[in-house]
Amino acid sequence: METFKELYDRLVRASFNKRLEAEVELIKSEDDYNEEALDRFLHPDNHPLIYKSESCEGCLSEKSPACEVACLFSAIKRDENGKVVIDQKDCTGCGRCVEVCENKGLIERKDMIPILELLNSKSVPVYAMIAPAFNGQFTIDVTAGKLRSAFKCLGFYGMLEVAMFADILTLKEALEFDRTIHDDKDFMLTSCCCPIWVAMIKKIYHELVPHMPPSVSPMVACGRAIKKIHPEAVTVFIGPCIAKKAEAKEQDIRDAVDYVLTFQEVKELFDLAEIDFSKIPEDLRDHSSMAGRIYARTGGVSEAVQYTLNRLNPDRKIKLKAAQANGAIECKRLLKEITEGDIKANFMEGMGCIGGCVGGPKAIIPYKEGTEHVNEYAGLAGYKSPIDNPHIIELLNRLGFDTISDFLEGDNLFIRKFN
């Protein structure tokens, strides 16, 4: 019997070469084909975010297997036979278990086949949304402009940098801070961009939910903006994060993003397509500011919001004082300290991966190297903050936001109400 990976690679090649239907029929004719594995790859929406492959041995000889120890949400348990089981209601899709399993026994949901079939059909415009952590991931010579051209070669209608929507959320969070932080006891919990941090607050430290600004993530903001302007569009987020696959399917925001691919999955697709980046033209659209670009690394959200707040209200008496949690362990520690009354700042930023998004489980390069590339790209931005960026103002107007009150109130694209 084929392994899960062998079956997946076989299906991806077939779909890329526009012969998926014939390949599926061939697979089904084989005596030992794995019906469940086949359906997981063909219809990923019908299956859990994290599941066991044939190589999961259950680690019966270990008192606490690595995956169980790594899970901060107690989603990995043992059944009556001592084998590992995943409690889907508690699983946040953070991907820590996938990362630590030496046997490669756990797999995250794969959206590649449905995406390739859509690209082949040319029935709808498919947009790639690239996370701010992309710099250097596909080698230092692969710029945003070359990536945009590469995605178009694959059949995507276009590519947007999610950093542009990190700009928008930076402005929103700065305005929220200015509106809600009035004395030394007030504080805000961000960042909206990290699903592990958000899940930790919602699931474990629910009493802190009122301190979360009502903001969607930049990924969701980007997807919703595309669909408002192009209602027929299909949106595909691309980044280093497994947890984004779970965020995209959360009930109250699932209208924004149809599919999620990781950097590693996209690199495999570029390799399959034999894309030569040295020969691909630049298609540069330099629309994001420094503030949005630094979201990809720990401390970036705090710096972006602090700079923007100072531009909005330079004479503000209570200044933004930030604290950052770098990685899931620090996130949990910081939230525990807050619940115990040990509050040292008024703006808390949590990043579930060490280094921030650049340290995500499906990043291609080490997080320190990724941080250097992110900072370098941020330094090249034509604008420091969304307030300075005319492209952001133009986009907000195009989306129907004429005043600050429109931006902060009501039920709009960028508001998420946490219960």
Q: Cβ distance 107 to 363 under 8 Å?
A: no
Whether pLDDT at 58 is above 70: no
Q: What is the pLDDT of residues 272-321, one digit of tens each?
A: 999 999 999 998 888 999 999 999 999 999 999 999 999 999 999 999 99
SS3 406: helix
Tell me the angle at which helices 112-121 and 20-29 cross, rounded to the nearest 10 degrees: 140
Per-residue pLDDT reduced to its tens digit, 17-26: 999 999 999 9
Residue 394 has pLDDT above 90, yes or no: yes
**How far, in Å, CA of 266 to CA of 250, rounded?**
23
For residue 28, report the phi and psi dihedrals to the nearest 5 degrees: -65, -20
Residues 6+ apart with CB under 8 A from 368: 355
Q: Which residues pair with 188 in a beta bridge?
A: 347
For domain 4-112, give the CATH number.
3.30.70.20
* Mean pLDDT across 358-385: 96
Q: How far is CA 71 from the centre of its chain?
A: 19
d(CA 149, CA 171): 30
H or E segment and range at residue 326: strand 322-326
Q: What is the pLDDT of residues 142-180, one digit of tens each?
A: 999 999 999 999 999 999 999 999 999 999 999 999 999
Q: Measure the N-to-C terminal CA separation of the chain; round to a whole number of Å.
A: 46
Return the domain boundaries, the chain. 4-112, 122-419
**pTM: predicted TM-score of the whole model, two decimal places:** 0.94
Other CB atoms within 10 A of residue 207 CB:
10
